[in-house]
Amino acid sequence: MVSELNELRARVRSFLSTELASGGFTPRCDSWLIGFDPDFSRRLGAAHLIGLMLPTEFGGYGGGTAHRLVVSEELLSAGAPVAAHWFAERQFGPSVLRHGTAVQQLEWLPKVIRGEVCIAIGLSEPDAGSDLAGVRTKAEKVDGGWLISGTKAWTSAAHHADAMVVLARTSGQRHVGLSQFIVRLPDSNVDISPIRLISGEHHFNLVTFDAAFVSDSDVLGEIGNGWTQAMQELAAERAGPERYLSTFPLLDELVRGLPRDSPSASEIGRVIADITTFRSINNKVVELLAAGDTSASEIAMLKGIGTTFEQETVGIALDIAHEPGNTTPLSPSAMALLREAQYQAPGFTIRGGTNEVLRGIVSKGLLK
Ligand SMILES: Cc1cc2nc3c(=O)[nH]c(=O)nc-3n(C[C@H](O)[C@H](O)[C@H](O)COP(=O)(O)OP(=O)(O)OC[C@H]3O[C@@H](n4cnc5c(N)ncnc54)[C@H](O)[C@@H]3O)c2cc1C
């Protein structure tokens, strides 16, 4: 297993160095959310580096959580533009495999594995973020399908997406009244409006459904099982190295440019030691996930402390950039990464569940 993982890691590195040498991408911070490049995703798919956990019968690698971890670590630390396929591979593919019909699996999984499909995740609403079970978007049964009405907020990449997985209310019961639907986009009854960052950039959206029709064949899983399915997806969302490597390309530039006698060297050393610790926790978390334990408090812990660390890295880079007497200013590429990381950093500890909410999950786990 170890040699197989090492071989896989070497293969990703070789792919990335060829891409870098040919100008295939420019490293970015937070590349899994803002590095949107469908051509890169297709090239990665063609190199069989997407769908690590999906079965070979659909074209996947047929590996496990450890295989996906190795590939993700390499892609993220290189700042590769993986946003176009990230949600499709991380949440949607495994969910379709677990809960989808044979027809849905045949339609979607090969496209996910080839890096050809962009999926948006429709959980949060203007009045239901941390309190996700308070979702109000509703789905009403009609002949042959469902009519979806309501509003989803902060939906990353919805303006690029081929489909959006929508968590909607199919009955009044708080948890068992929720179901998931695959809404194909674009749709004339679905309005997608940008929510812009302070920089003017457009990554997420407000999505309004006005009696949008979804056929019965696009229900994902059982009606009433949406809460359980969404929690499984959230565990996968929180458990990866994107929770401590979003700012790694910046860190990499800092280390390369820092003189040996810099007063910041010890600070950088501490940061690198922290990453080593996160990797150990992540290895443990993937074992838990592989064993099907999606509620483990270790997952919430990794996401909470990992994203806090990512934010701290930005602070350290700023200190270095403005260090009194610093005669070796940051390179233009480091400054560009720093600016990008500054814009993205506030969202690190909010997306996928806020730190306050994660601390609640960890403490409940400790009290078990
Ligand atoms: C960059 C980014 C991308 C995103 N992408 C998506 C996406 O693609 N799809 C999607 O569905 N969502 C997405 N989100 C939304 C994200 O999941 C929510 O913002 C998050 O879950 C918090 O919900 P909220 O914004 O409604 O805040 P609220 O839930 O209103 O929370 C407001 C404040 O109250 C605190 N709080 C709330 N409840 C508790 C509690 N029980 N105990 C202690 N404190 C509490 C929170 O910690 C927070 O500080 C994204 C968010 C960001 C920032």
233 belongs to a structural domain: no
For a substitution probing ligand 1, which of 125, 151, 154 has the most ligand atoms within 8 Å of its CB?
A: 154
Contact 195, 152 (CB under 8 A): no
Q: Are residues 213 and 263 in the same domain?
A: no
> For each of the chain's 368 residues, which pLDDT tens digit applies?
789 999 999 999 999 999 999 999 999 999 999 999 999 999 999 999 999 999 999 999 999 999 999 999 999 999 999 999 999 999 999 999 999 999 999 999 999 999 999 999 999 999 999 999 999 999 999 999 999 999 999 999 999 999 999 999 999 999 999 999 999 999 999 999 999 999 899 999 999 999 999 999 999 999 999 999 999 999 999 999 999 999 999 999 988 888 778 878 888 899 999 999 999 999 999 888 888 888 778 899 999 999 999 999 999 888 888 877 666 668 889 999 999 999 999 999 999 999 999 999 999 887 77
For a substitution probing ligand 1, which of 195, 354, 359 has the most ligand atoms within 8 Å of its CB?
A: 354
* Domain endpoint, select from 84, 117, 150: 117
Q: Are residues 275 and 217 in the same domain?
A: no
What CATH number does residue 287 fall under?
1.20.140.10
Q: From residue 344, how far is each of 29, 217, 244, 314, 315 by CA, in Å?
A: 8, 37, 13, 10, 13
User: Does residue 336's CB lie within 6 angstroms of at least one atom of ligand 1?
Assistant: no
Residue 130: what are its φ and ψ, rounded to 5°?
Answer: -60, -40
Output the CA 132–ligand 1 centroid distance in Å: 9
Output the CA 58–ligand 1 centroid distance in Å: 35
Q: Are residues 111 and 205 in the same domain?
A: no
Domain count, the chain: 3
pTM of structure: 0.96
Strand 178-184 relative to strand 138-142, pairing: unpaired
d(CA 181, CA 215): 9
* Domain endpoint, select from 200, 228, 256: 228
234 belongs to a structural domain: no
Determine the structural domain holding residue 76 and report its residue range.
2-117
124 belongs to a structural domain: yes
Output the CA 131–ligand 1 centroid distance in Å: 9
User: Does residue 15's CB lie within 6 angstroms of at least one atom of ligand 1?
Assistant: no
Contact 232, 91 (CB under 8 A): no
Q: Are residues 309 and 340 in the same domain?
A: yes
* Domain endpoint, select from 189, 207, 228: 228
